[in-house]
Structures are given as C-alpha cells and as structure tokens.
Chains A and B, each alone.
Chain A
Amino acid sequence: MGEGGRPAEGLRAYRLIAGMWIRSTLAYRVSFALTVVGGLLVTGLDFVAILLMFSQVDVLGGYTLPEVAFLYGLSATSFGLADLSIGSAGRLGSRVRDGTLDTLLVRPAPVLAQVAADRFALRRVARLIQGTLVLGYAWVALDVDWTPVKAALVPVMLVCGGLIFAAVFVAGAAFQFVAQDASEVQAAFTYGGQTLLQYPPTVFGTELVRGVTFVLPLAFVNWVPAAYVLGRPYPLGLPEWVAFAPPLVAVACCAVAGAAWRAGLRTYRSTGS
C-alpha cells in the first residue's frame, strides 16, 4: 500500500514540521543565540571534567588526552546529530499518556516523522558544535599517521554513530508505547551511553564492555573503530575487521528499532492506551 512512498512522505513531513519550528525559533535571534551559548557552556563542562582529570594523571586507562578527546569528540558529535534530528521522540510517553498522540494519527503523515520533528529544538546544535570542536582539537593534537583509510573512517563513524544513537532513541520511544513513564530509562541509554563512550573502554569492567558491544552495540560508535585509528588493542580481543563493521551495525540497529516502533504503534492502535 504505497510502502515505497512512505519514507519519502515521512521525510517531507519531517522537513515541513522541523522547518516551522526553526523559523519560529529564529524569530527571536538573540534569545536563540544566548541559548546556544549557554548550551555550549553546559555541555563544555563535560570536557572540562576530563581536562581536570588529566591535570592529575598523564594517561586514563592507557589513553592520552588527545586520544580521549578523539573518543569524546566522536561520541558527542554522533550523539549530537541523533539528538538534534530525532531527540524529540523521547517525549512520546507523555503524548501517549495525555492522548495527544491521537491527533498525530489523523494527519496524512507517518507518526514517527511527526514525533521526531515535534518541537524541533535547534538549540541542540550546541552539543553538536561542542563535540565537533573537541574532535577538531583531537585531529590536530593526535600523533596519528592519517592514512586515507583512517581519515575516511572518521566521517563514517560519525554517520554510523548518529544512526546507532538514533536507533536507540526510536527503540526507546517504541518502549514508551508500553511503559509511558520510561523516558528516564531511555535517557539512561542515550545520554548515559553517550557519556560512557567519552571514556576509554579500558577504564570499564569487561562485563559492561561486553554488554555495550554485543547487547546494545554502542561500542561501534567509537570504541571499536577508534581502536583501529589509534592503533590500540581492540576491546574484548575482537578481530581487526570489526573496525569496519559500524555501517552493518548501524543498519541492523535501525532495522531492529524500526520493527520495535511498528510493533509499538500497532500495540497502541489495538489498545488505545
């Protein structure tokens, strides 16, 4: 039933709704600029915490400051991409609870696109900017021989990392069809995961690293591919080729999240609660 047209329809609706919110945000330019500056300062504190640590130690879990900055920049930037584009979906639970999801279901556009673009918060670019700045610093400061493969791997990591985080956002939103108060649980995986990835895998226990690799494959956002770029041992002794697995992992995550979303929406439409 016009399945081929649905992604295009979704993107179109997303663009329309997000565009409206961006126009409305930019109507108050000064206020918007101040919000972004404030956001930069707040998210910047994250990295200041890491700088403070390095004022006491030279290496963290065997990683130098530029190396940790590389991990941090990759994590923050890919998370920033996902948070900016689809983070609004995290509020799905409240829409289910107060029944306003129904108003989205009577419009001629896919619900996910409407939920993702709802109250599109341009101020979230703050995290994206901050992540990019740290990544830029790492790029300059790292003592790495940038072969073409390594250089090409960086944008691949950002895109795939963004997709993996986006999948976590969507799966979390899907879970809120069943448990409407689960937005905190979702935040633990999204914001929590992002913070986790800012530190080297070597500072965490094997069990946690294993979970983040095989269960919720956040390790493919930066830990695994970055190990290749930095010439570091792979977490859990994984073979070398997995450094190039992020695209596969990202596609798999999106497929699972998409299926979860459809199942969640189906549950809602059969129970209405």
Chain B
Amino acid sequence: MSEGATVSESAFIEVDRVEKVFDVRRRTGFLRRELRRVRAVDAISFTVARGEMVGYIGPNGAGKSTTIKMLTGILTPSGGRLRVAGIDPSRERTRLAHRIGVVFGQRTTLWWDLPLIDSYRLMHRMYRIPDGRYRENLDRLVELLDLSALLDVPVRQLSLGQRMRGDIAAALLHDPEVLYLDEPTIGLDVVSKARVREFLRELNTERGTTVLLTTHDLQDIEQLCSRVMVIDHGRLVYDGALAGLHEAGESERTLVVDLERELPPVEVGEAARVVKVDGPRQWLAFPASESAAPLVARIAAEYPLVDLSVREPDIEAVIARMYQDRETARETVVPAPGNS
C-alpha cells in the first residue's frame, strides 16, 4: 500500500477493492418475499493508465456492466475506492460527465424521435462545448464515421450499425479523456464492425483517448486491446495480455483437414485429438501454444490431404475452460481440511 501514491499519479482509472452488493427481493408467495444478497462485483482492484485500451470480458451476469456503471457514476459502489481522473464518480456524477464518453451497445443516448443532428446540437449546448471545437469535432467525426447522409434522419430510422456510429460520435463531441463502450459491436454486420474497430484504433493512437470496452467478441479484443481483464462471478480472474489469456485458459486451436475420402479418425498421438468427423472432413484440437506446422507436416505425410485450415479459439471457449478450471480447483481444495 506504500506505493499507492505513485500509482494514483500515473493511473487514470483506479479501482481499489470495489464491490457492489444488490439486495434482490423475490416474490415467493402472495405476501412473502425472499431477500437474497447478490455480490455482483466482489472486491475488484485494477488501474488503467491514460491512453490504454482495455478489453473487459466475462460471461453474462459476471459483473461487467455493473463495473462500467460504477465507473460512470450511474451506480454507487457498496464498498471500496473508485476514482476516474481523480473524481469519485458517484459523488460528482455531473462533473465527471464532462470528462467521459459512454456508449451503450443496447440502448442509445441519442434522442430517439429527432434527427441525429438535433442530438448533437443539444450535446453542444449541454456540455458547453466551445463553438469552434464543436464544429471541428463534428466535422471530423462525421467524416470518420461516415455520417453526413444520416444527420437529418430521425434516430429511430437508423440501422443498428448507423445508430452505433451516431452514438459513438455523440460520446466524443466533448473530447472525453476516457471512452467506455458496453458491447459496441453487438449485433453489427461484418462491415460495420470493421469500421467501428478501425475508428476506435485511430481514436486511441492519434488522440490518446483511454478506452475501456466490454465485449463478447474475441476479435474486438484481438484487434484493439493490448490488455484484457476477465471477470467471473464478480471477481477479476485474469488481467494481462491476450496471449497470456490463451495460456491461462489452456485454450486449443482447431485444425480442419479435408482428406481425399472418408477415413477413420486421424492418429497423430499426443500432438492432437480428433474432436469431430464428418465424411472426409475431420476436426483436430491442439494446444494454442503449439505451432501447427509439425502437425500439418505429419498429417500430410501419412494421409491423403486435400485441403486444411486453422481456426483460432474463440473467447467463449477459452473463458469457459478457465471457469471450469476454477470450479475444479475449488472442488478439490474444499475437502482438504477435513482429511488432514
């Protein structure tokens, strides 16, 4: 704790043993209610430096959105210490609002029934953005996010991808130092996803905006984030580089081979195991940390190989395996005191 002071100087976002406990009342009878305590976020600690781009992942209900809501001042933490740009978000929500941008993938911050440009004009006044800077930012965002044809369209008539771009622009008009994105690519088509990612990368490298995004899409993380944090059951279970996550999760890649004809499962010993056979096509799983080359060479030498492809592990599988490991670890640890 003695280094706390130096940490807070370089850290832009500081989260120190923050927790969020919800009391969930469930109706179990006509008048009877059951009270249950849910620890949505359980003593999480991390710091994010200015200019970092961090992916925040975990299964549904793991506590991702709750964390984002505490960081933006929407929710008040039940315990711990939280600072964004030196501000306590829940206590000084409106002061913080000038310095952060927030994009919720599932709901828009734009005014639904009005043309897109009306929302921007309102943000201009509400955030007290100086006229010159507003015009400069708007022009730049309209160009980068390809919004010029959409400005006069009511928000409700925009497609999901268009609306998302509109939302991202709205969140950046006031030059926030940090941008939070909650599932920014959810439901978008491939082209829209690519465009959003490209934009975020530029924003981060050219303007130095700190970005924290939650996602279900491994490609978002792979293409954007040097650092990833994994949360499960309200606890931070991993914080580091994406490559390390694969190791931590003992993830596997898949080699898909097309043989000349239908054959019994390929035998390559310990190097890989066949997980699926469908006619002449077979799927082999092998550790993500191993190179595919020797495996391919061996199969090509021993079998009539026609074609092949390698598939990267998807994040869901990696994380699922991490959770499984944690569960088994817990189960094996619990009986120990009784035995000794």
Contact = CB atoms under 8 A, between A and B. Distances in A.
10 contacts: A9-B94, A20-B121, A24-B113, A106-B100, A106-B102, A106-B109, A107-B94, A108-B97, A110-B94, A270-B78
Interface string A85-99: 000000000000011
B241 to A, nearest CB: 30
A272 B69 contact: yes
A1 B92 contact: yes
A167 interface: no
Contacts of B114: 20-21, 24
A108 B118 contact: no
Among A13, A16, A21, A270, find the residue whose CB has the most chain B CB atoms closer than 10 A.
Answer: A270
A107 B72 CA distance: 10
Q: What's the interface size class on B, roughly?
A: 20 to 34
Interface in A196-252: none
B74 A271 contact: no
Grouping DSSP codes into helix (H, G, I), strand (E, B) and loop, the A interface class, with mixed when no group exceeds half, is: helix
B310 interface: no
B107 A105 contact: no
B69 A24 contact: no
A56 interface: no
Contacts of A119: 113
A269 interface: yes
A20 B109 contact: no
Interface of B: 22-23, 66, 69, 72-76, 78, 90-95, 97-98, 100, 102, 104, 106-109, 111, 113-114, 118, 121-122, 125-127
List 5 A-B pairs, minimum CB-CB distance, nearest first.
A108-B97, A103-B109, A105-B74, A106-B102, A108-B94
Contacts of B98: 108
B127 to A, nearest CB: 6
A108 B89 CA distance: 12
B75 A272 contact: yes
Given A269-B74, A272-B22, A102 B104 contact: yes
B122 A99 contact: no
Given A20-B118, A103-B108, A109 B76 contact: no
A260 interface: no
A217 B76 CA distance: 35
Contact of B97 (A1, A21, A102, A107): A107
A102 B69 contact: yes
A13 B122 CA distance: 9
